[in-house]
């Protein structure tokens, strides 16, 4: 019976990832990472998270434009608005004023440990976003009562299952949350629409 070794497991994962995803020769890249190299890699991964979020935001912008049948100028304005918003800026992940006021929060996390319910930290983060979308944020000028509100999630089965479980067990705002399935047109400003976006 093999005894689990945390460092060996991490070493195998990093080395296999670099070899398989980037076509690099098989090598022990992990052993070459000193403390500074690990700090640089951590900073790079933060940028990757920002890229991932940006791509999901753009995909949502396309979904919104299609769903609301917006013209080319409005679509371009939405795209520009998303690209002008710096990563980790105060306020909402997406704030659009024209052609229609929209606020949205984007979550790219997948339920922990391959599960079909969110872990407590993930659940608390989503509930916090729901509250801010419905009640406002002190660092944003957007007024939720005048905006269409969206929580944007990745469209994978585990996330759909975990979100369904979370919404079913919401104590507040349960009646305000609507899953924006095909055929649902987001037009009520007293509702919060959950949108699943696919491949980015």
pLDDT at position 190: 95
pLDDT (tens digit per residue) in 110-137: 888 777 889 899 999 999 999 999 999 9
Is 151 part of a structural domain of the chain?
yes
DSSP state of 140: -
User: How many structural domains compose the chain?
Assistant: 1
Is 189 part of a structural domain of the chain?
yes
| pTM exceeds 0.95 for this model | no
Question: Token digits for 102?
Answer: 């929209």
Q: In angstroms, rounded to a whole number, what is the distance separating the alpha carbons of residues 186 and 30?
A: 48
Is 24 part of a structural domain of the chain?
no
pLDDT at position 200: 46
DSSP state of 99: S
CATH number for the domain harbouring residue 85: 3.40.1350
10-residue averages of pLDDT along the chain (200 residues) = 84 91 92 90 84 91 92 91 81 86 90 84 93 90 93 93 92 90 90 85
Which residues have CB under 8 Å from 83's CB, separation 6+? 54, 58
pLDDT at position 199: 59
Structural domain for 172, as ranges:
47-197
């Amino acid at each position: 019976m093999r005894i689990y070794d945390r460092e060996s497991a991490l070493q195998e994962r990093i080395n296999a990832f670099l070899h398989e995803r980037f076509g690099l020769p098989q090598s022990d890249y992990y052993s070459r990472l000193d403390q500074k190299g690990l700090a640089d890699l951590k900073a790079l991964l933060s940028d990757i998270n920002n890229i991932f979020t940006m791509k999901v935001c753009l995909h949502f912008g396309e979904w919104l434009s299609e769903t609301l049948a917006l013209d080319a100028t409005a679509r371009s304005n939405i795209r520009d608005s998303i690209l002008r918003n710096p990563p980790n800026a105060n306020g909402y992940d997406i704030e659009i004023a024209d052609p229609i006021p929209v606020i949205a929060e984007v979550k790219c996390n997948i339920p922990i440990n391959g599960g079909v319910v969110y872990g407590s930290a993930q659940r608390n983060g989503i509930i916090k976003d729901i509250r801010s979308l419905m009640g406002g944020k002190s660092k944003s000028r957007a007024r939720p009562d005048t905006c269409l509100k969206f929580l944007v999630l990745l469209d994978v089965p585990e996330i759909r299952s975990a979100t369904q479980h979370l919404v079913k067990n919401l104590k507040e705002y349960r009646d305000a949350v609507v899953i924006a399935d095909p055929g649902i047109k987001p037009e009520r400003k007293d509702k919060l629409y959950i949108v699943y976006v696919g491949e980015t």
